[in-house]
């Protein structure tokens, strides 16, 4: 009798834990990076070294809400499958560990050793003065001689003291060959400051950029400056995240194109250009030490609601890893971003391509699939509806009269956790065209739309009770393909 009771007790406990576990896990994407548990925000310190792509990230290991920041760590051989590693950087007497970057010191400029991995991050020291929070942000460095397994903080930290600014953070460092210097781009309130150094330990101020340029609805964070090639021409790209002040509210990322002479960044124009129009691509910067490639990953959330999204046990995913490229449209240059090719090995064509009434079946795909449509006619409206029997619906549409693309998540499952969340996400001010290509990457709780290879991109998260069962198209689309994610 007693044994039977004990068995029943254990069995019920097992069922309960299982149901609970499933509930916790049902929002977890299949091919996007997520922390095993607890809070994550910005990607940090992305660098390639000795066969491994490193991804560090803003991490709070003791809660699923933002708190004292650490650098979490993961590695990958292909940027698709990630292996979780131990926490790399813990808070110390200088503060918690805010966002930053990492480089390979090939010529031992800092003296920690040839090929040392060096992380540059913000030490964020918080105190209370008259009951109000006061932050002192300085820049620090740490190094690893075993490809990121163990880290030592430099004894002379901070390497860059605070010049009296409340927002002074997110160092992104590149090697500038022409001036034989490391160049650091840094958040300096509503502009970006550039610093130069020969050894990563002593830094000189070079210049500021930003006043009168681009969007200024909030703080400029997480800058990234790098050189690209466009048909033999050198083009410098400056990526700047902005919070708040995004085109659809809250956090978003803009970019500038121009020149950099080793000291000053000069933008070609003052226009605002969004890297992504969606609400959920923030703080993205590029990998270091990947040759001519420019690989970006962003945090797939928004400060408007990141702490309230209903995943609870873990919070936030990263975007897909995206290849950046320059493209000229009507005499002007733009920066495109598109998921790297490596994902394609995981996408298998699913038949039938087009079902009769323009409904595609995505049942059983676990909400992880890709849709590619060629030559979408832009002389009239167009709408894709992702739906299920629970009447949860997510739409992507083109509105001819307004010439905009929109993602609407107002009829997806859980939306009440924040008032801004159900608002329609719009990408407008588009270059007029007669047709375009569309690629949609769906992964459990996120949609990433790419128009014309990422000339326009829209990234958004959503939280449904059930997976989608079908995709409905408002017009008969030729050349539509659907791919199931497999592993």
**99 near ligand FRU, rule: CB under 6 A:** yes
- Which residues, 6+ apart, have CB-to-CB distance to 437 below 8 Å? 372, 373, 374, 375, 376, 451, 452, 453
**105 near ligand FRU, rule: CB under 6 A:** no
Q: Report yes or no: 50 and 114 within 8 Å, Cβ to Cβ.
A: no
Q: Beta strand pairing status for 70-76 and 425-427?
A: unpaired
Q: Closest approach of Cβ 1 to ligand FRU, in Å?
A: 56
Nearer to ligand FRU, 69 or 451 (CB): 69
Q: Which of 64, 122, 123, 254 binds ligand FRU (CB under 6 A)?
A: 122
DSSP H or E run through 21: helix 2-25
Q: Closest approach of Cβ 461 to ligand FRU, in Å?
A: 16
**279 near ligand FRU, rule: CB under 6 A:** no
Q: Is the dihedral of CA 228, 233, 234, 238 positive or negative?
A: negative
In whole angstroms, what separates CA 257 from the centre of its chain?
A: 20
Q: Closest approach of Cβ 41 to ligand FRU, in Å?
A: 5
Nearer to ligand FRU, 284 or 387 (CB): 284
- Residues with a catalytic annotation lie at 42
Nearer to ligand FRU, 254 or 412 (CB): 254
In whole angstroms, what separates CA 168 from the centre of its chain?
A: 21
Q: Closest approach of Cβ 72 to ligand FRU, in Å?
A: 12
Closest-CA residue to 441 (of 420, 467, 460, 422): 460
Nearer to ligand FRU, 243 or 408 (CB): 243
Q: Which of 27, 39, 42, 53 binds ligand FRU (CB under 6 A)?
A: 42
Nearer to ligand FRU, 280 or 452 (CB): 280
**41 near ligand FRU, rule: CB under 6 A:** yes
Q: Report yes or no: 273 and 286 within 8 Å, Cβ to Cβ.
A: no
Among residue numbers 130 through 189, which ones bind ligand FRU (CB under 6 A)?
169-170, 187
- Which residues, 6+ apart, have CB-to-CB distance to 301 below 8 Å? 41, 251, 280, 282, 309, 315, 316, 317, 461
Q: Is the dihedral of CA 294, 225, 276, 427 positive or negative?
A: negative
Q: Which of 221, 392, 439, 443 binds ligand FRU (CB under 6 A)?
A: 221
Q: Closest approach of Cβ 255 to ligand FRU, in Å?
A: 16
Q: Which of 98, 203, 255, 382 binds ligand FRU (CB under 6 A)?
A: 98
Nearer to ligand FRU, 58 or 286 (CB): 58
Q: Which of 46, 47, 55, 69 binds ligand FRU (CB under 6 A)?
A: 69
Q: Beta strand pairing status for 38-49 and 314-315?
A: parallel
**469 near ligand FRU, rule: CB under 6 A:** no
Q: Closest approach of Cβ 386 to ligand FRU, in Å?
A: 29
Q: Which two tokens stand for residue 304?
A: 């408007």
Q: Which of 222, 237, 240, 285 binds ligand FRU (CB under 6 A)?
A: 222
Nearer to ligand FRU, 71 or 347 (CB): 71
Longest dimension (CA), the chain: 83
Q: Report yes or no: 337 and 322 within 8 Å, Cβ to Cβ.
A: yes
Q: Closest approach of Cβ 173 to ligand FRU, in Å?
A: 15
In whole angstroms, what separates CA 144 from the centre of its chain?
A: 25
Q: Report yes or no: 29 and 317 within 8 Å, Cβ to Cβ.
A: yes
Distance (Å, rounded) from C-alpha 454 to C-alpha 439?
A: 9
Q: Which of 103, 283, 317, 373 binds ligand FRU (CB under 6 A)?
A: 283
Contact footprint for ligand FRU (CB under 6 A): 41-42, 58, 69, 98-99, 122, 169-170, 187, 221-222, 283
């Amino acid at each position: 009798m007693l044994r039977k009771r004990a068995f029943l007790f254990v069995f019920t406990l097992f069922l309960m834990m299982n149901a609970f576990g499933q509930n916790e896990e049902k929002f977890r994407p299949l091919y996007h990076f997520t922390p095993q548990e607890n809070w994550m925000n910005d990607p940090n310190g992305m660098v390639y070294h000795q066969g491994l792509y490193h991804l560090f990230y803003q991490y709070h290991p003791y809660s699923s809400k933002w708190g004292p920041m650490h650098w979490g760590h993961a590695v990958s051989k292909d940027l698709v499958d990630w292996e979780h590693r131990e926490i790399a950087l813990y808070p110390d007497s200088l503060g918690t560990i805010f966002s930053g970057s990492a480089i390979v010191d090939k010529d031992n400029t800092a003296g920690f050793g040839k090929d040392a991995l060096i992380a540059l991050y913000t030490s964020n020291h918080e105190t209370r003065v008259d009951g109000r929070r006061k932050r002192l942000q300085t820049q620090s460095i740490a190094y690893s001689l075993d490809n990121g397994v163990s880290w030592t903080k430099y004894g002379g930290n901070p390497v860059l003291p605070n010049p009296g600014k409340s927002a002074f953070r997110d160092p992104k460092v590149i090697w500038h060959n022409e001036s034989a210097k490391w160049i650091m781009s840094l958040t300096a309130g509503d502009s970006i400051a550039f610093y130069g150094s020969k050894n990563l330990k002593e830094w000189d101020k070079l210049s500021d950029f930003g006043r009168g340029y681009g969007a200024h609805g909030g703080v400029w964070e997480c800058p990234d400056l790098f050189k690209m090639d466009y048909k033999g021409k050198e083009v410098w790209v400056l990526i700047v995240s902005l919070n708040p002040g995004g085109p659809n509210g809250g956090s978003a990322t803009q970019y500038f194109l121009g020149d950099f002479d080793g000291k000053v960044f000069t933008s070609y124009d003052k226009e605002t250009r969004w890297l992504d129009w969606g609400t959920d691509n923030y703080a993205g910067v590029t990998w270091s030490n990947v040759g001519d490639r420019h690989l970006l990953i962003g945090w797939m959330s928004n400060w408007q609601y990141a702490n309230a999204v209903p995943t609870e046990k873990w919070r936030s995913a990263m975007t897909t890893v995206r290849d950046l490229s320059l493209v000229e449209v009507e005499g002007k240059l733009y920066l495109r971003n598109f998921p790297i090719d490596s994902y394609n090995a995981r996408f298998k064509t699913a038949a039938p391509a087009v079902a009769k009434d323009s409904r595609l079946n995505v049942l059983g795909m676990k909400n992880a699939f890709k849709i590619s449509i060629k030559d979408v006619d832009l002389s009239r409206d167009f709408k894709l509806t992702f739906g299920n029997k629970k009447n949860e619906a997510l739409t992507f549409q083109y509105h001819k009269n307004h010439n905009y693309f929109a993602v609407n998540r107002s009829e997806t499952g859980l939306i009440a956790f924040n008032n801004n969340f159900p608002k329609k996400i719009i990408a407008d001010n588009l270059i007029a065209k007669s047709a375009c290509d569309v690629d949609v990457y769906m992964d459990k709780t996120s949609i990433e739309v790419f128009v014309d290879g990422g000339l326009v991109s829209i990234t958004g998260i959503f939280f449904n009770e059930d997976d989608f069962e079908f995709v409905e198209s408002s017009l008969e689309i030729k050349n539509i393909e659907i791919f199931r994610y497999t592993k």
